[in-house]
Structures are given as structure tokens and as C-alpha cells.
Amino acid sequence: MNFIDLRSDTVTRPTAAMRAAMAAADVGDDVYGEDPTINQLERRAAEIFDKEAALFVPTGTMGNTIGIKVHTEHGQEVICESRAHILNYELSMMAWFAGCVARAIAAEDGTLTWKQIREQIRPLGPHAAPTGLIEVENTHNMAGGTVYAQDTLDEICEEAHKLGLPVHMDGARIFNAAAAQATTVARIAKHIDTVMFCLSKALGAPAGSMLVGPRNLIDKGRLYRKRLGGGMRQAGVLGAAGLIALEKMPARLGEDHANARWIAGELNKIDGIRADAAPPTNIVFFDVADTGLTAPAFSDELKARGVLINANSARRLRLLTHYDVSRDDCARAVEVIRATAATAAHDPVTR
């Protein structure tokens, strides 16, 4: 079956231009710093973010792991939002590798304020572990692709820096944030110390993420990347696709956002389904409980009809729009969701 795959924007396959660039890539041994394509990618990423240096890493998880490690010492706390990817989806790497615990703060829309953070900052004392780092996720995946207001971010950075605390951004989808706000990633990240962003999500590269920041921390990060097994050799084959992702793909993200808004609007017309209204970027959560089906059962039904969308809880599913799904695909997916909801209401699934 030819599935419409809305499980994530990670499912995008490399474009024809990426495949051609990969085949033609000039490569060398990146552990010796001799891969010209990776060197170019790292230079361009640093330039685009207006930071001193960048490091190519195989995954976003490794980029965040290294980002946390370069700022912290064992036994510290990392302040983050309670649904943060670093806390819930990275196999506790912040504890396993950096020896830190999360101090999680719940925020309705996933974006923290300085006031919330300030209340949770701890100095070293006889009981408390000191705060070592503040982490923000932008866009916020599990809050529905929400975007930090620029002045909120700037205030967090300014106040954190006054206290000597660094700020790391999980910017897996920071280009979506920039598109949504009609700004640049450099402006968003202006006062942030380190940013991890993914080439392999909305930007469509087959693999790879980047960590950008000050040269001394990126140099340190390069050693941690090797420790973690992320020292790749002729990585330029991936870097060539990454360069196209970085240079060409951000300009089209508005299409994905328009598709997400359109789907959310259509889903809200279906009996028994409630979607988060007006998703700001490419992530849509929708609640199916009133159809009489649990979200996992609903997801199974969709799969049987050719649409892939994962359940995120007993009631809710999460879908993402991306380069590999057109508006027509979105319309077909909506019809399948409508048909599934209609069948469910009349013939509740018992399996």
C-alpha cells in the first residue's frame, strides 16, 4: 500500500537534488577534520546562526546530549519544560552521560517564562543540587509545535546570563519557528549559548543534526561526539544532503504550516474529533476519544486504510506535515480520518 505518512517530519526521504549531491560529494576523513563537505556545512551553519562554530552530529539526540554536557558538571540540575524532548524522549541521556537531573516546569504552551524559571533556580547548598543550565525547546514538539515569543527568549537569556547560567536550545525545528515568525534563526538564537537543530526533520535531509555555539564549547563537543561514537569518517556524503537542507529547504516551510492549519480546521468539522486549533507550525494534535475509539485503536484503523499517524496518548494522536505530503495527500488523509470516525461511531471497534 502507498501510505500517506504523517507520523513525523523525520520520515522525509532525500530529494533528487540531495541524492545527486550525495553521489558527487567531495569527501575526506572527518575525524581528522578533512572532510571538505562537512567543513563547509559546519562553516555555513555557523554563519547562518551567526555563531562562532558548528558541529555535525548524526542525530538530534546526540546534539542535545553534547549541548548539555559542554555546559554542565555532574550533580547539577537542568531546568526544562516538563514535556521537553531531552527529558522524555532521549533515554535519560542528560542523566546517563552528563550526570544531571531535570528540574521540570510545566508550561501550558511549552514555552517557559523567566519568572517560572527564576523560581526554580537553586544555588549549591547542603541539600539542593545547583542549577547548571536552562534548556528551551523551540518549536516545542509535544506542546504542538509552539514557538517562543522573541522577547520571552531574550529575557530568559539576559537574566540567566546575569546569574552566570548558560541557555541551550533544542531547536530541532528552529527553522519552523523562524518561518512562523517571519524572522531568522540567527535572530531567534542571538542570545542563546548553544543551539541544536536537525537537518533530518522538516528540512528533509536523510540524517544529521548540528550543534552551533562558541568555538571553545564546540571544540569540547567534538571530543564528546567521538566518545559517543559519533565520529564519522567520509560523512560528507551526508553533509552534501545537509547543505541542501540548510540552504534550500527553509524557504518552503510555510507550505507545511499552511497544510497543518488546513488539516486542523478540517478535523474540527468531524464529529467526535477535536484538533488543537490553529497550529502555529507543522504539528497537529487531535483528540479522538469522542469517536468511541482509543487513540491507538484509531491509529490502527487509519493504518489499515493507508494513513500513518501515531497515537500519543490514550485519547490523542499527533500528525506532522512535511515535504513528502502534498495538500492532496492531506485532503486524502482527512477523508480517511472522517471515514474512520464515522465507522467508529456506528460500529465501535472491540479488538
Binding residues vs ligand TLP (CB under 6 A)? 8, 10, 59-61, 64, 85, 89, 137, 141, 170, 172, 198, 200, 209
Q: Which is nearer to ligand TLP, 61 or 321 (CB)?
A: 61
Q: Which is nearer to ligand TLP, 77 or 170 (CB)?
A: 170
Q: Which is nearer to ligand TLP, 202 or 334 (CB)?
A: 202
Compute CA distances 186 → 183, 212, 239, whole Å. Answer: 8, 11, 21
When CB distances to ligand TLP are compared, the closest residue is: 60
Give the nearest distance from C-beta 137 to ligand TLP in angstroms: 5
Please state whether the peptide bond connecting residue 139 to the residue before it is cis, i.e. omega within 30 degrees of 0.
yes
Give the nearest distance from C-beta 10 to ligand TLP in angstroms: 5
**Alpha-carbon distance 141 to 7, whole Å?**
13
Task: Compute φ and ψ for 339, nearest 5 degrees.
Answer: -65, -40
Q: Which is nearer to ligand TLP, 86 or 160 (CB)?
A: 86
Helix, strand, coil content of the chain in percent (nearest 5): 45, 15, 40
* Whether the Cβ atoms of residue 167 and residue 137 lie closer than 8 Å to each other: no
**Alpha-carbon distance 73 to 99, whole Å?**
7
**Alpha-carbon distance 101 to 133, whole Å?**
11
Give the nearest distance from C-beta 215 to ligand TLP in angstroms: 24
**Alpha-carbon distance 202 to 200, whole Å?**
7
Give the nearest distance from C-beta 85 to ligand TLP in angstroms: 4
Q: Which is nearer to ligand TLP, 142 or 344 (CB)?
A: 142
50 Cβ contact partners less than 8 Å away, ≥ 6 residues apart: 186, 189, 190
Q: Which is nearer to ligand TLP, 211 or 341 (CB)?
A: 211
Give the nearest distance from C-beta 64 to ligand TLP in angstroms: 6
Give the nearest distance from C-beta 42 to ligand TLP in angstroms: 17
